[in-house]
Amino acid sequence: MTDQKSDLSRRHLLTAGMGAASAVLLASGCQALRPAAARPTLTGQPQPLDLAPDADIRCGIIGVGGRGTGVLRAIHNVPKVRVTAVCDLNQENLDRAMGIVADDQPTAFGDYQQMLKSDLVDTVFVMTPCYLHAPMAIAVLESGRHCYCEKPMAINTRDLDRMVRTVQDTGKVLQVGTQLPHASPWHGAIKAVHDGEIGEPVLIHAQRHNAGDLPHHIPWFFKRKLSGDTILEQAVHEFDIFNAIFKGVPTQASASGGQAVLFDPPGRDIMDHYGLILDYGKNQRVVYTHSWIAIPKAPHGGRVEMVYGTKGCVDVEAGMIYPRDGEPRKVNPEPAGDSTQVAVQNFFDCVRQGKHPLTDVIRGRDGALVALLGLKAIDTNRVVTMQELLAKGYSA
Ligand SMILES: NC(=O)c1ccc[n+]([C@@H]2O[C@H](COP(=O)([O-])OP(=O)(O)OC[C@H]3O[C@@H](n4cnc5c(N)ncnc54)[C@H](O)[C@@H]3O)[C@@H](O)[C@H]2O)c1
């Protein structure tokens, strides 16, 4: 992999939206980063949708495959929201989705640009393969609609930067589909750490060891240029949680990984295992492994996120606190519910109220930056700093 033509990219990062209408703060969430490599944040709140409180929000969706269909059902459950347009290239998927929301009487599209040219939608969900997220979400925002975009928000630093600028310049809501922190137990576990219940967080030990494989009938998952590799396509859920716990992004990563077991379907070029060490600052570290080669009947597979602090630890997945002195207890379970349903409801609340969502464009960018940092460390077989990544850029 080669670095992007990065002077331009860096200038964009440093000057993103700095005109009078769209001034951004150059704020660093990570103290160890020098100002020259800071990450722009948003100023102000988005405009609310201009709608009577009891009027329906009209919603379109692009991409109704596996994930899009699940999210479509969640949208359909939200009161005062109507699915008025459904778009997919795949006729079978389109027909199935149209059937699910038939009572909303949606219009079907094969071309998302035609959907955006219509006057049918106020909000659009982007549920397509990863390499399409940034161009589609940017087109949605520039057409004047609010957007919910699946993770990863983009698979290169240039598009991450463009997404932040577009949100700032259009004043629209952009929510990224890292839905876990919206619901229990993740919400309560992160809050427990921030409330000091384990003292200072020091070490996160985490893993996602998948048994079984990605669906072979969906080719884009297996091509790094389309999915961003498994580190962008899947692990951004974990990176979002690490960033939330340590309130920033890592200063550097060391990593190693490869493809040793899974070579089907033919042409597959994504890693089937890798490991990362992320440094978030003094005594703030993550050790993370991610693989698709776990054995179903063997122990220690699945997801683990343990946060060890000066006064105890939190099991994020189980929502349990283990104090150094005292008995284990559950974290506060609020808010409960299916994380996707809660996230989708939150998006429509933000659209009505004119608020940036919990998993906003900044959080989406920062999760993807961790993935690109790790990917570059794996590709180059050396320690890579966030400062270097921001200065030079990188692409899956
Ligand atoms: N947040 C989560 O927990 C979660 C879970 C699973 C997947 N995802 C993400 O959701 C996205 C979709 O994943 P999936 O498993 O549904 O994949 P999928 O291949 O099943 O669905 C993608 C759909 O997009 C359609 N599509 C492709 N190009 C299009 C275009 N130009 N215009 C219109 N439609 C187009 C395809 O025909 C397909 O129906 C991915 O980015 C994935 O990473 C997120």
Residues with CB under 6 Å of ligand 1 are 62-68, 87-90, 93, 112, 127-130, 132, 150-151, 177, 179, 218, 233
CA of 357 to the centre of ligand 1 (A): 22
Domains of the chain with bracketed CATH:
181-336 (3.30.360.10)
Other C-beta atoms closer than 10 Å to the C-beta of 165 total 21
Q: Which pTM value belongs to this model?
A: 0.92
Mean pLDDT to the nearest integer, 56-66: 98
pLDDT greater than 90 at residue 99: yes
CA of residue 155 to ligand 1 center, whole Å? 15
| Predicted local distance difference test score (pLDDT) of residue 29 | 36
Strands (E) located in the chain: 25-27, 39-41, 57-62, 81-87, 107-109, 123-126, 146-149, 174-176, 201-211, 252-258, 273-281, 284-294, 302-309, 312-315, 320-323, 329-330, 384-385
Tokens, residue 219: 């080719």
Tell which residue, 144, 164, 102, 192, has the closest CA to residue 351: 144
Q: Can you tell me which atom of ligand 1 is nearest the CA of 111?
A: 32
- Contact indicator for 106, 84 with CB cutoff of 8 Å: yes
Ligand 1 centroid to Cα of residue 67, in Å, is 6
Q: Could you report the per-residue pLDDT of 253-304, keeping only the tens digit for each?
A: 999 999 999 999 999 999 999 999 999 999 999 999 999 999 999 999 999 9
Q: What is the pLDDT of residues 356-387, one digit of tens each?
A: 999 999 999 999 999 999 999 999 999 999 99
Atom of ligand 1 nearest to the CA of 69: 16
Output the CA 30–ligand 1 centroid distance in Å.
32
Which of the listed residues 98, 128, 208 should we mutate to test ligand 1's pocket, taking the one with most ligand atoms within 8 A of CB?
128
| Residue having the nearest C-alpha atom to atom 37 of ligand 1 | 90
> For residue 53, what pLDDT is reported?
84
Cα–Cα distance measured from residue 130 to residue 308, given in angstroms and rounded to the nearest whole number? 33
Number of neighbours of residue 262 by Cβ within 10 angstroms = 17
Q: How confident is the model at residue 241 (pLDDT cuts 50, 70, 90)?
A: very high
Residue nearest to atom 33 of ligand 1 (CA): 88
Residue 151 CA to ligand 1 center (angstroms) comes to 10
> In this predicted model, what pLDDT tens digit does every residue of 20-36 receive, in sequence order?
223 333 333 333 443 43
pLDDT band at residue 7 under the 50/70/90 scheme:
very low
Q: State the DSSP string of 181-198.
A: GGSTTHHHHHHHHHTTBT
Q: How far is the CA of 205 from the centre of ligand 1 (A)?
A: 30
